[in-house]
Structure 1
Amino acid sequence: MVVGAGGVGLALALVAIAAAGPWADGQRVAERNLAAAREAAHHTGRTPATAPSAPPVLAGLGPGATPRAVPLPTGQGLDNALSPLFDDPALGAVRTGIVLDAATGQQLYGHDPDTPSAPASTTKIATAVAASQSLGGDYRIATTVVPGAAPGSIVLVGGGDPTLTIRPTPQGADPDATPASLSDLADATARTLKERGWTKVRLSYDTSLYTGPPRLAGVDDENLASVTPLMVDEGRIDPNSVEAAPRAADPANAAAQAFAGLLRERGITVDGDVRPGNAPAGEEARLAEVDSMPLSALVERMLTNSDNDIAEALARQTAISLGQPVSFAGAAQAVSEELGRLGLPLAGTRFNDGSGLDRDDRLTARLLARLLHTAADPAHPQLRPVLSGLPIAGFTGTLSDRFSGATSDAAGLVHAKTGTLTGVNTLAGTVVDADGRLLVFAFMASGTGNAGTAVAALDRLAATVSNCGCR
């Protein structure tokens, strides 16, 4: 049954990539091309014998589905395959796991799945579900400029979009796949000011949308900028950096200073110092506005790249939607509240942030798996970006360099969110087994001593589910 499974996974990866749509950086196109190249390399002049199982897997989640068309693995089969792997000391002191059928939600395997454990970045799955459910995939985050209270003054108002970039939007770019641009906002602001006969202004900036401390205790600022509703390029000092990189000490001030410079380049004199301030109360007409990519695209980007800044921003947008304080604590409460409304199992869980960087967060493998099963449910189409944003083993995001060597047969078959903190390693996502059945899994390990061996052990668990029919 294992022969040809890699080909099935690559074919499924192609379908999933094509369905997810393009990103501004062309990542989906690049993935599709890479998948096609690898598929060609694996071909031996014939279609793999298991290829016909791919359509039932995908159809099994759609209208009129027949989820039993592809056989389920048995609990005994999965227990025989997975339980010995859970004995691996590389998984540390606390190791939990669960496997569900994606179509029905039936539990097929469990290893202490209700034991709360540190989730690390798999917390982002919960944040993605809560934000998508409460706000909807078409929701966009606005950054605005409004007249100030004093004559000749304007206020740059942060709305919470961490992907706002200083770069101008490329001509012909898809607004559904392109970050909002501070340069475009300066263009529109300067144009409106000149129409009103203003060539000199005083500029302030408003960050009053968020409350509470802007930092998580003990978290390096290269992993997460100060959480503020106004920033450009996620607060990175070098806007071209994409990984963990030095951040501005005050991202909001840095963004406002950059905006002042852009206005000057467009013929508007910015008089005096740029200072924090508050936009006037009421419905003052906006001078200009730019909107973020839709929330569905933000969710995908957050999950694929494990983006901490987007995660904290989406948790706060959820807090705004639910009327909670727009702080770490309020956002955590909002995420938990929204998941409770979905009927998800929250016993033993504790949210302290939206990104999973807080070491005191606690989730269960059952909750992670149920989050993914709910995202696959046709009754919740607004949650589908939670699945399409998962990194693809051997291809994208935080799984691009995993599932090689002994686990390479699972490349393309495993789509999963990773989680890594010192002593904590997790993996949760979907996998196609050797019979073509789509399953949901969550594996969690705490107290691990070596990240490399712990990650390899988690990958073996997911690859084992992929490579067996387990009956």
Structure 2
Amino acid sequence: MAEPVERPTDEPLNGWGRWKAPEYLKRGSGSGNRRLAAGSAVLGLVVAAGAVLAAGPWDSGQRKAERDRAVALQRSGGAHHEGNTPDGPEPAPSAPAVLSALGVTDGLTPAGASGLRTALDPLLDTPALGSVRTAVVVDAATGKQLYARGATTPMTPASTVKIATTAAALSALGPDYRIATTVELSPDSRTLTLVGGGDPTLDKAALRSLAADTARSLRDGGTGPVRLMYDTSRYSGPARHPIGPNENIAPMSALMVDEGRLDGSDRGPAPRSEDPAGDAARSFADLLGDAGVATRSAAASGKAVEGSRTVATHRSKPLSALVERALTNSDNDIAEALARQTALKAGEPASFAGGRRASTAELKRLGMPLAGARLADGSGLDRADKVSAGLLAGLLALAAGPDHPELRPVLTGLPVAGFSGTLGDRYTATSPATGLIRAKTGTLTGVNSLAGTAVDAQGRLLAFAFLASGTTSPAEAEASLDTLATTLTKGTG
């Protein structure tokens, strides 16, 4: 009997010894990291001050407050720190005032590895975290590893693998990339083809706009009734995820509307269409009729006729916005679509296998530690996924650094403790970590994980990854992971 796929709790309901930092994390004494220290502190503290709520989580691809701050840092080099001490960069000038407002009055000293070891070791040993636990904590400003346990051990990450999926997509395609859905007209003007580009967020409003633009073009050309086809050839390989039919993900198709959802929802588990492409084409046919274009027969599957020209185009929100939505809501459909877009960019088939190869190659190009890693899918629903805590924490630190601003949506998309996405109900208003932690959750039967960033009591931005397997109680495991992350905010320097 196949193992039941539980309603993953990150689907909105909700050794290595001493770690050797890769080259991109070794510039702890340079001016770039002095600039990053200021940016890191402010980036996290902006969340603590509530600025994250000033804009929707993906209204413009990155949250406005953080985007503007990141741009300012890139232009100006951040705050001036001529007086930095050998122990590390000083916090941003704004940090004392903000921390004081939050009730943090301790001295602003660098986070200490020994203090973290004392604080985290007993928490990681709790039985609630199952039989195998791994962890890495990195100072995002300096790249210094502050804590590690089993940092290179490959673990099933569940949905925290979306950090790797989205980072690879942003690196390969850039944050401004948009997925196109087009309508093609044959040379004889008798056949229209709706061509799916792989945008799972295509909705009825977009289809209506495509139909209106198509009708306008046909009227200008004096075209009569047309045959309608739909083209899903951009994707290849199995349409079904290895977990089989499931409310957490639709069949993989280059053409779908609203992720194939049948209940009007926009996140979380939902009944899914068995034929998302056919449903989209039939809806498009109705909208063409409303726009005055008659179709001669029911829509049929097939590739666009050779020599066809584009008469209408719809482009998705920028990739940065799709990344944020995928991370905030743990959206499996978007994550799988992004893996396929990465594959297409690399010249690989847009399939599970192609996405695995392309994403892995992109992470390797970024210099990430990939020993034992296997990105079997883009969403984390596949138990064959394997990543290390070192890989996830390293990606988060890289996204926080100055050298790869294109990765910033990986941070801005992370759910905010007590406020948004899959962490919205994991921290209470009275929790000392509310607003100070941003993290991606991961849950499958027997697997629980949490990876993200935390602002400590000294205003430092810490990147962390906690992975556990063999857990028996999701609620207890989640509480233990939340306690680990909360501990990072208390200051151990």
TM range (shorter): 0.7 to 0.9
Contact 1:61–1:378, Cα closer than 8 Å, also in 2? no
RMSD of equivalent CA atoms = 2.6
Structure 2 counterpart of 1:292, from 274, 298, 316: 316
Residues 258, 120 of structure 1: CA spacing in aligned structure 2 closer, same or farther, 3 A cutoff? same
Contact 1:62–1:378, Cα closer than 8 Å, also in 2? no
Moved more, 199-208 or 447-456: 199-208
Q: Report the equivalent of 1:242.
A: 267
Q: Report the equivalent of 1:12.
A: 47
Q: Report the equivalent of 1:154.
A: 192
Q: CA deviation at 1:434?
A: 1.0
2:442 matches 1:408: no
Q: CA deviation at 1:341?
A: 0.3
Q: Report the equivalent of 1:273.
A: 298
Contact 2:61–2:319, Cα closer than 8 Å, also in 1? no
Residues 90, 337 of structure 1: CA spacing in aligned structure 2 closer, same or farther, 3 A cutoff? same
Measured in 2, the distance between the counterparts of 1:61 and 1:375 equals 17
Q: Give, as a single letter, the amino acid of the residue that structure 2 aligns with 1:63.
A: G
Structure 2 counterpart of 1:334, from 350, 358, 367: 358
Q: Report the equivalent of 1:115.
A: 153
Unaligned runs of 5+ in 2: 1-42, 82-87, 92-108
What is the total number of aligned residue pairs between the two structures?
423
3-state SS, counterpart of residue 182 of structure 1: helix
Q: Give, as a single letter, the amino acid of the residue that structure 2 aligns with 1:89.
A: P
Measured in 1, the distance between the counterparts of 2:75 and 2:469 equals 33
3-state SS, counterpart of residue 425 of structure 1: strand
Q: Report the equivalent of 1:301.
A: 325
Per-residue CA deviations over 1:285-319 (Å, capped at 9, x if unaligned) read: 20111100010111111110110000000000000
After TM superposition, the structure 1 = structure 2 runs for residues 26-425 of structure 1, keeping only pairs within 5 Å, are 63-64=77-78, 66=81, 68-70=89-91, 71-148=109-186, 151-166=189-204, 168=205, 181-282=206-307, 284-404=308-428, 408-425=431-448
Q: Give, as a single letter, the amino acid of the residue that structure 2 aligns with 1:242.
A: R
Measured in 2, the distance between the counterparts of 1:27 and 1:381 equals 12
Q: CA deviation at 1:265?
A: 1.2
Contact 2:171–2:362, Cα closer than 8 Å, also in 1? yes
Residues 153, 127 of structure 1: CA spacing in aligned structure 2 closer, same or farther, 3 A cutoff? same
Measured in 2, the distance between the counterparts of 1:319 and 1:433 equals 38
3-state SS, counterpart of residue 368 of structure 1: helix
Measured in 2, the distance between the counterparts of 1:69 and 1:28 equals 26
Q: CA deviation at 1:243?
A: 2.3
Structure 1 counterpart of 2:487, from 436, 451, 464: 464
Q: CA deviation at 1:113?
A: 1.2
Contact 1:16–1:388, Cα closer than 8 Å, also in 2? no
Q: Give, as a single letter, the amino acid of the residue that structure 1 aligns with 2:47.
A: L
Contact 1:119–1:356, Cα closer than 8 Å, also in 2? yes
Contact 1:203–1:270, Cα closer than 8 Å, also in 2? yes
Residues 72, 219 of structure 1: CA spacing in aligned structure 2 closer, same or farther, 3 A cutoff? farther
Structure 1 counterpart of 2:449, from 426, 437, 442: 426
Unaligned runs of 5+ in 1: 1-7, 33-54, 169-180
TM-score by length of 2: 0.81
Q: Give, as a single letter, the amino acid of the residue that structure 2 aligns with 1:256.
A: A
TM-score by length of 1: 0.85
Residues 220, 431 of structure 1: CA spacing in aligned structure 2 closer, same or farther, 3 A cutoff? farther
Measured in 1, the distance between the counterparts of 2:410 and 2:63 equals 16
Q: Report the equivalent of 1:448.
A: 471
Residues 157, 245 of structure 1: CA spacing in aligned structure 2 closer, same or farther, 3 A cutoff? same
Q: Give, as a single letter, the amino acid of the residue that structure 2 aligns with 1:107.
A: Q
Q: CA deviation at 1:193?
A: 1.1
Residues 441, 73 of structure 1: CA spacing in aligned structure 2 closer, same or farther, 3 A cutoff? same
Q: CA deviation at 1:239?
A: 3.1
